[in-house]
A and B are shown apart, each in its own frame.
Chain A
Amino acid sequence: DVKVTQSSRYLVKRTGEKVFLECVQDMDHENMFWYRQDPGLGLRLIYFSYDVKMKEKGDIPEGYSVSREKKERFSLILESASTNQTSMYLCASSQYTPDRVSNYGYTFGSGTRLTVV
């Protein structure tokens, strides 16, 4: 069964802490994405990556950075956590070629609900 695994389901961190959210996929996908989801706002793209060591800013990259040292792993880093970064964080992966992407588009991890206090 294909899978995207996020390291933590729930996380509570203090303001100012450096926070790492890890995401691993076992489908050999090129593309990986980090989203945050807040009530009424839908999914907002933070960063994405089309290949190892490659990253692109999404719609809301401020306060975040990412790392993709291996194809299967995409990490989201909150450099100095703030209360307005309290949210549900979702990692997703997809395959680039149309014939594979049509099978399911993106596959999501189960999400990390981060609370910054």
Chain B
Amino acid sequence: GQNIDQPTEMTATEGAIVQINCTYQTSGFNGLFWYQQHAGEAPTFLSYNVLDGLEEKGRFSSFLSRSKGYSYLLLKELQMKDSASYLCAPMDSNYQLIWGAGTKLIIKP
């Protein structure tokens, strides 16, 4: 079957660094996406990894290990506006995104 596992909720302090982990199992694999979703809004694209390694984009970085079925999203210099849910979504062999329940990130001053 297909399965995504990420923590339900995390708390971090403004200015700090936080790492959100994701493990997955899918039928085939065409890359992994991370999305950000603020409360009451639609998910928006953050990053895409298809090869192993780290992709850096400003304050956000995403890592992928295909052999381990593992990814993480690293957020640096946290700001209050980073309070949101973060969705890990691998893409299966049919080019469909498989969604977990997401990780709610709470930033405290």
Contacts and interface: CB of A to CB of B under 8 A. Distances in A.
Given A110-B42, A111-B41, A111-B42, A105 B91 contact: yes
B107 interface: no
19 contacts: A35-B99, A40-B101, A42-B87, A43-B43, A48-B96, A88-B40, A94-B95, A94-B97, A96-B95, A98-B95, A102-B31, A102-B50, A104-B48, A105-B35, A105-B45, A105-B97, A107-B45, A108-B43, A110-B41
B99 A42 contact: yes
A41 B101 CA distance: 5
B95 A102 contact: no
Most A CB atoms within 10 A — which of B50, B96, B102?
B96
B42 A105 contact: no
Given A101-B91, A105-B89, A113-B40, 7 more contacts: A41-B101, A42-B99, A43-B87, A90-B42, A94-B97, A102-B31, A104-B48
A44 B99 CA distance: 8
A106 B31 CA distance: 13
Interface of B: 8, 30-31, 33, 35, 40-45, 48, 50, 87, 89, 91, 95-97, 99-102
Contacts, number: 54
Given A40-B101, A42-B102, A102-B31, A108 B96 contact: no
Interface of A: 31, 35, 40-45, 48, 88, 90, 94, 96, 98, 101-111, 113
The 6 A-B residue pairs whose C-beta atoms are closest, nearest first, are: A42-B101, A108-B42, A43-B99, A104-B45, A105-B33, A111-B42
A7 B30 CA distance: 31
Contact of A106 (B30, B97, B100, B102): B97
